[in-house]
């Protein structure tokens, strides 16, 4: 029966939710990602599968993964892993296959609503006994009637589109792989080139993987095109945005604000200027983390590894 090396920084209780889906007879060694490389190598040499969360492991360790049939990630993102080196070593890599799509999509919409309705400020006012409006009514907005621009229409982006459409928004999207027109019509989205999308959107929500092509995809040129009432939401990867350009746009009030679950450096330094912006919501990269998601992820990753063990190709293969 197969051996799985599970390298993670997750709390043991959370790891347990994932391990509930281990097939009968499989052996899983759960190890901390903090252990030295030599210890990782000892386990990986004996393993058939490598399960990772977060997706960070040195090339030195990968060099010893002679018997690894699949590096299976518990995340959607894969930018911390050297995919090119994995390709050279002929080790396939799969991500979580959208098992966290619902969680991230709901969180993205939560950020939109929290910013539009000033939930954080209102919570503070309510708790401190001040029942006056914390923010003038003119600064409250609804999603209904707005144009939401989605950058990256994968599983997460499609679910965001479904949710905001239910709120009464119009959805425009940009993706390097445009959908057939009939599929666009079926999910009520309209394609637009990136610059057109950022120019006309009231809310811009980012859902693209971080690749060389998407690094700083949203930069000074895009901020210059945005409406002064535009809200930028990022739940994918920090480096998809040129942070300095964003800080300048926020400081000069070229856009309404930003709601961010990710930054280029996490956690950001205490003196990071983004911490001081009143027109920013900042949360610590938790969009995809719910009690529900770990069960879904566990089910998917072990089913995927079982496919490979049975000689079938893996799902959610990462090729970049």
Determine the 3-state secondary structure of 273 from DSSP.
helix
Query: Looking at 43, 118, 207, 237, which residue is catalytic?
Result: 237
Strand arrangement, sheet containing 280-282: 189-191, 170-174, 147-151, 203-206, 231-234, 257-260, 280-282
Locate tokens 């920084």: which residue? 9
Q: Which two tokens stand for residue 266?
A: 């996490």
Question: Cβ neighbours of residue 27 under 8 Å, at least 6 residues apart?
Answer: 1, 2, 3, 4
Query: Looking at 21, 215, 285, 307, which residue is catalytic?
Result: 285
CA separation for the pair 27, 17 (Å, rounded): 16
Locate tokens 């610059």: which residue? 195
Question: Cβ neighbours of residue 167 under 8 Å, at least 6 residues apart?
Answer: 109, 142, 143, 144
Q: Are 160 and 109 in contact (CB under 8 A)?
A: yes
CA separation for the pair 43, 32 (Å, rounded): 12
Omega of the bond leading into 54 within 30 degrees of 0 (cis): yes
285 is catalytic: yes
The DSSP element (H or E) to which 221 belongs, if any, is helix 220-225
Residue 166, CB-side half-sphere exposure with 13 Å CA sphere = 7
Rounded to 10 deg, the angle between the 12-19 and 291-309 helix axes is 50
Query: Looking at 56, 63, 213, 266, which residue is catalytic?
Result: 266
Cα Rg for the chain, rounded, in angstroms? 21
266 is catalytic: yes
The DSSP element (H or E) to which 7 belongs, if any, is strand 3-8
Write phi, then psi, for 304 (nearest 5 degrees). -70, -45
237 is catalytic: yes
CA separation for the pair 311, 320 (Å, rounded): 23
Catalytic machinery residues: 237, 266, 285
């Amino acid at each position: 029966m197969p051996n799985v090396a599970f390298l993670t920084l997750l709390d043991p209780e959370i790891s347990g939710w994932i391990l509930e889906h281990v097939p009968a007879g499989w052996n899983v060694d759960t190890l901390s990602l903090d252990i030295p490389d030599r210890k990782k190598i000892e386990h990986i040499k004996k393993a058939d599968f490598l399960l990772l969360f977060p997706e960070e492991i040195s090339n030195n360790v990968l060099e010893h993964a002679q018997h690894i049939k699949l590096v299976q990630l518990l995340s959607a993102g894969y930018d911390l892993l050297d995919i090119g080196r994995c390709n050279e070593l002929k080790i396939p890599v799969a991500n979580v296959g959208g098992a966290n799509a619902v969680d991230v999509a709901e969180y993205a919409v939560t950020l939109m609503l929290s910013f539009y309705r000033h939930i954080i400020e209102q919570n503070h006012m309510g708790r401190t006994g001040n029942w006056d409006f914390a923010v003038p009514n003119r600064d409250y907005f609804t999603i209904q009637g707005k144009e939401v621009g989605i950058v990256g229409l994968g599983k997460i982006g499609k679910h965001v589109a479904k949710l905001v459409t239910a709120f009464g928004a119009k959805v425009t999207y940009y993706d390097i792989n445009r959908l057939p027109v009939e599929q666009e019509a079926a999910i009520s989205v309209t394609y637009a080139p990136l610059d057109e999308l950022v120019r006309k959107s009231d809310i811009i929500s980012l859902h693209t993987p971080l690749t060389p092509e998407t690094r700083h995809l949203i930069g000074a040129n895009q901020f210059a095109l945005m409406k002064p009432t535009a809200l930028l939401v990022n739940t994918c990867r920090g480096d998809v945005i040129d942070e300095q350009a964003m800080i300048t746009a926020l400081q000069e009030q070229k856009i309404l604000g930003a709601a961010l679950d990710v930054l280029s450096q996490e956690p950001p330094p205490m003196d990071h200027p983004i911490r001081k912006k009143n027109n920013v919501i900042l949360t610590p990269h938790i969009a995809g983390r719910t009690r529900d998601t770990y069960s879904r992820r566990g089910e998917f990753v072990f089913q995927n590894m079982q496919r490979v063990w049975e000689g079938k190709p893996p799902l959610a293969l990462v090729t970049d």
